[in-house]
Every structure is written in structure tokens, then in C-alpha cells.
């Protein structure tokens, strides 16, 4: 979406990204490496592309093969098993192999600008690894931040002093290129970015914890950020600069941030193993949805994501697509693609 907005989408990009889907899509905690796939295509000695014909090896799951099938870009796999040093080597090989005209590091939401001690910070490790890497490669890297505050980790107001120039404000036209992907992809931040580009405004509730995220005129913006300032702010990124393993980087995350998102995923995965897999009962599901929406209105919520609904209603992640289809067919007027609009008007809240 951002590539289309900034570069016109005339030439396919190479998107260097993690295979790190949340547990709704991948029941195995943490990121996947090349050994978790069949059918990868080698780009450089240390970098593998994930083509459409690639498949994750069970029980792991990944959205990357389907993204490769539906979008024109090449998806290159970030392999964090060897820490920041390993990712730096991979990125240097890619740059040498491709000789790109530009290299952008894109973060949606803004947690890449965290110090590391913020109480609302939930998933700093992946961002800190890529931030540390971008500082070490011998090629200019532009840091871009899209959708300030949309990841529900750092409020947009806290990010504003650190935002640089406004590069672009996303529009409905920018969303067109990825609209089919948004019908199935679980990313909440991307869903809100697209929805706000289409004009949705209000308060969106996300994640299993029910975090509230404002959907404002600021939400569909893309800003440039000073890469060196971001690294200087991030205690975690500085600490993991020389790491040579994911375990080492994770230890630094626990020491600086108090916890690791992979630990959270491990604990959650253990709880989900006992979740039932019975068929959906439409009447029971819609009844639970009514109760959820009534409570959400009381909290001042106007929108939510399908991930949030799936978890709030206690539906197994394997039934997410079935649940989504049921809700859209039953109450199509509430589908604010790719979000779900809460029925009725939210109660007023002081302040």
C-alpha cells in the first residue's frame, strides 16, 4: 500500500520481512526461519524469498506464501536466528545483489520509536532488531512511520514530537491495490490504516486485551523519522546491536522491557491448546456478539477488528474466516472494510 502510494507501484518491490504471524494464523510462538518452509527460493547466500508455491511446515503457519501469490512483490525472509548481526549480513547481501534505488524501513504504529520502558509497549523486539540493523548497513536507509498510534502501543501524542516531514496521507485509491488481501490478512494495524484511508473515524478496540485506538485524521499519514534519533532513543536497539542469536536479543528484551513478546506468545499458545474446535452455532455466536457490542458501546468504542471479535467471543483462531463470513452475511451494514462497526451509538464519556 505504501509502495503504491510513494512509488506508483510501477515496479515490484522487494519486501524484506519477518514470517512472524500472530497465533491466529501460526500456532507456533515466535518468528519462522528458512527451515520452517518448503519451496523457498534462494536470493543470496543468507537470504531466501518466499514464493507463492512455498509452504510452512506443520504445525507452523505463515501468510507470506499467499501474499506472494496475490501481490506482485518479492517477499524476502528476515531470519532473526543470528540476532542483529545476522540480519545485518542478510540486508547487506540483498543491497549488494539488488543495487536498489532506495531502502525504506517502514513501521506501522510507531513502537519503533519506543525507549523500551513504556508500560504500554507490547512487541518491541522485531522493531528493535530491524532498527539496529538499519543503522549498521553501509547504505542510506529512510525510516518511515505510517499510522501514528495505530498499533495501540504508543499514543500518537507521544510520537508527534519525534515525527519528521509528512510524506503522504493515504487515500482510498492507495488502498485499492491491497483490498483483496485485507479480506483475509489478520494485521490489525494495517486494517486500521486502510480503514482510516477510506474515511473511517472513531475508536477501534483491538487485540485480546481490548486496547482502544483512536481513528483520526492523523491515522492515515506517513512521516519520515530521523533514523539516528530513533536509535538513540531505543535502549533495546542499542543493546542488541552486536547480538548473534535470537535468544541473546530476547534476553536483552526481558532485561530492558521487563518481558519478551515471544514469552507472551508461549504462554498464550499453551492456553489455546485447550480451546474447543466445535462447529460455530450462528445463533449463539450472534448472541455473544450482541453482548460484546453492548459492552463495547459502554466503553465508547465505535469499531473493532475481526481478530478482536474472534478472541472476545472465544472462537478458535481456526474458525476466524468462518466467523467473519457469518458476521458479514448476517449484518452487512456493520462491515466497514476491513473493520467491524459497532452497532448503535457509543455512550458519551467525559473528557
Distance CA 250, CA 266 (A): 13
CB distance 315 to 282 below 8 Å: no
Residue 284: the pLDDT is: 93
Quick: pLDDT tens for 219-230.
Answer: 999 999 999 999
The set of cell numbers assigned to 155 is: 499514543
Nearest residue to 262 (alpha-carbon basis) of 36, 81, 33, 30:
30
How many Å apart are CA 197 and CA 150, to the nearest integer?
Answer: 12
Please state, in angstroms and rounded to a whole number, the distance separating the CA atoms of residues 205 and 175.
21
Does residue 349 register a pLDDT over 60?
A: no
Per-residue pLDDT reduced to its tens digit, 233-244: 999 999 999 999
The model's pTM is: 0.93
SS3 label, residue 24: coil
Q: Euclidean distance between the first and final Cα of the chain, in Å?
A: 35
Query: What pLDDT sits at residue 276?
Result: 57
**Structure confidence at residue 132 as a pLDDT band (50, 70, 90):** very high
Mean pLDDT score, 331-347: 87
Whole-number percent of the chain with pLDDT over 90: 81
φ, ψ of residue 290 in degrees (nearest 5) = -60, -45
Locate the domains of the chain by residue range. 2-170+220-239, 282-341
Q: Is residue 348 predicted with pLDDT exceeding 60? A: no
Please state, rounded to an integer, the average pLDDT across all residues of the chain. Answer: 92
DSSP-derived letter for residue 45 is T
Place of cell 519520515: 224
Q: What is the pLDDT of residues 47-103, one digit of tens each?
A: 999 999 999 999 999 999 999 999 999 999 999 999 999 999 999 999 999 999 999
Amino acid at each position: 500500500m505504501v509502495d503504491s502510494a510513494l512509488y506508483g507501484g510501477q515496479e515490484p518491490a522487494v519486501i524484506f520481512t519477518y514470517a512472524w504471524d500472530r497465533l491466529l494464523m501460526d500456532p507456533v510462538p515466535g518468528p519462522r526461519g528458512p527451515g520452517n518452509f518448503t519451496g523457498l527460493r534462494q536470493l543470496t547466500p543468507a537470504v531466501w524469498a518466499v514464493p507463492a508455491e512455498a509452504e510452512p511446515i506443520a504445525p507452523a503457519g505463515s501468510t507470506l506464501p499467499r501474499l506472494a501469490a496475490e501481490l506482485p512483490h518479492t517477499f524476502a525472509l528476515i531470519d532473526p536466528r543470528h540476532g542483529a548481526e545476522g540480519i545485518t549480513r542478510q540486508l547487506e547481501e540483498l543491497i549488494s545483489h539488488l543495487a536498489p534505488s532506495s531502502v525504506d524501513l517502514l513501521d506501522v504504529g510507531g513502537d519503533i520509536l519506543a525507549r523500551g520502558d513504556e508500560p504500554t509497549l507490547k512487541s518491541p523486539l522485531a522493531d528493535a532488531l530491524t532498527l539496529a540493523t538499519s543503522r549498521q548497513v553501509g547504505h542510506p536507509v529512510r525510516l518511515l512511520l505510517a499510522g501514528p498510534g495505530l498499533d495501540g502501543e504508543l499514543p500518537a501524542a507521544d510520537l508527534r514530537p519525534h515525527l519528521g516531514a509528512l510524506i503522504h496521507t493515504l487515500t482510498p485509491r492507495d488502498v485499492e491495490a491491497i483490498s483483496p488481501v485485507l479480506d483475509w490478512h489478520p494485521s490489525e494495524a494495517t486494517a486500521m490504516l486502510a480503514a482510516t484511508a477510506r474515511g473511517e473515524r472513531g475508536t477501534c478496540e483491538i487485540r485480546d486485551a481490548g486496547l482502544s485506538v483512536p481513528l483520526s485524521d492523523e491515522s492515515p499519514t506517513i512521516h519520515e523519522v530521523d533514523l539516528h534519533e530513533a536509535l538513540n532513543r531505543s535502549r533495546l536497539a542499542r543493546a542488541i546491536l552486536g547480538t548473534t542469536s535470537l535468544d541473546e536479543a530476547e534476553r536483552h528484551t526481558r532485561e530492558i522491557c521487563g518481558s519478551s513478546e515471544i514469552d507472551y506468545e508461549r504462554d498464550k499458545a499453551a492456553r489455546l491448546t485447550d480451546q474447543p474446535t466445535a462447529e460455530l452455532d450462528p445463533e449463539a455466536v450472534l448472541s455473544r456478539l450482541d453482548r460484546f457490542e453492548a459492552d463495547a458501546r459502554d466503553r465508547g468504542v465505535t469499531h473493532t477488528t475481526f481478530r478482536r471479535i474472534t478472541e472476545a467471543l472465544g472462537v478458535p483462531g481456526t474458525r476466524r474466516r468462518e466467523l467473519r463470513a457469518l458476521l458479514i452475511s448476517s449484518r452487512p451494514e456493520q462491515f466497514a472494510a476491513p473493520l467491524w462497526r459497532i452497532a448503535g451509538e457509543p455512550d458519551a464519556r467525559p473528557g
